[in-house]
């Protein structure tokens, strides 16, 4: 009985969490593309103006980033200025929650058919590598190990801390700017 009563609250909390995580990830993608050479190198292979979307089916939360060129991303929030080039779609909000709460690795979610790719698969692979790189920076090592297939052995603590600090600072600044406008 109690479980039934709190169920709507659980649904709401889950939706809010996924929405918040998308907002953080979108801003963090923009931030990491401004500071990390490896991410820039990966992103340079994407066409300029390339729009990437990550969303929850059918009409749930979404994040949209654009490749502005030279490896730099711009976070557009949840609305795209034109049709997106690549969309990674979670089949259900529960699947998005499993991945975004680091209970299921992104690669495992793909293997488990939790997500669909609409667009060029090679770009999806590239974007997944970028997301993995981002997660290894911004998450504590123990959590990051749950999020990515393999934690990079060449990422040492000073580089990780410095990069994480710069990314979080940029994310916070972006949040403040969004609120002001």
The residues binding another protein (CB under 8 A) are 45, 103-104, 107-108, 110-114, 116-119, 121-126, 128, 132, 148-150
Instruction: Quote the tokens at residue 7.
Output: 């169920």
Least distance (Å) between residue 113 CB and another protein: 5
Least distance (Å) between residue 81 CB and another protein: 22
Least distance (Å) between residue 111 CB and another protein: 4
Measured from the CB atom, is 62 or 105 closer to another protein? 105
Measured from the CB atom, is 75 or 97 closer to another protein? 97
Measured from the CB atom, is 129 or 166 closer to another protein? 129
Least distance (Å) between residue 107 CB and another protein: 6
Q: Is 173 left (phi over 0), alpha (psi -120 to 50) or beta?
A: alpha
Does residue 33 contact residue 73 with C-beta atoms inside 8 Å?
Answer: yes
Measured from the CB atom, is 23 or 128 closer to another protein? 128
Rounded distance between C-alpha atoms, residue 117 and residue 167, angstroms: 27
> Residue 69: helix, strand or coil by DSSP?
strand
Measured from the CB atom, is 33 or 132 closer to another protein? 132
Least distance (Å) between residue 109 CB and another protein: 10
Rounded distance between C-alpha atoms, residue 50 and residue 144, angstroms: 27
Give the residue from 180, 106, 119, 174 showing the smallest Cα distance to 145. Answer: 106
Backbone angles phi, psi at 118, to 5 degrees: -115, 105
> Taking each helix axis from N to C terminus, what angle separates 2-35 and 93-100, rounded to the nearest 10 degrees?
60
């Amino acid at each position: 009985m109690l479980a039934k009563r709190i169920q709507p609250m659980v649904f709401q909390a889950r939706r809010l969490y996924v929405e918040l995580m998308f907002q953080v990830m979108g801003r963090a993608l923009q931030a990491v593309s401004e500071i990390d050479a490896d991410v820039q190198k990966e992103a340079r292979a994407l066409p300029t103006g390339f729009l990437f979307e990550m969303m929850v089916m059918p009409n749930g939360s979404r994040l949209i980033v654009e490749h502005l060129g030279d490896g730099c991303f711009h976070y557009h929030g949840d609305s795209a200025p034109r049709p997106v080039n690549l969309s990674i779609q979670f089949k259900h909000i529960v699947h998005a929650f499993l991945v975004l709460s680091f209970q299921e690795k992104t690669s495992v979610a793909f293997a488990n058919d939790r997500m669909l790719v609409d667009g060029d698969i090679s770009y999806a692979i590239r974007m997944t590598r970028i997301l993995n790189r981002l997660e290894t920076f911004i998450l504590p090592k123990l959590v990051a190990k749950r999020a990515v297939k393999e934690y990079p052995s060449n990422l040492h603590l000073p580089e990780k801390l410095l990069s994480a600090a710069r990314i979080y600072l940029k994310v916070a600044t972006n949040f403040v700017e969004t609120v002001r406008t």
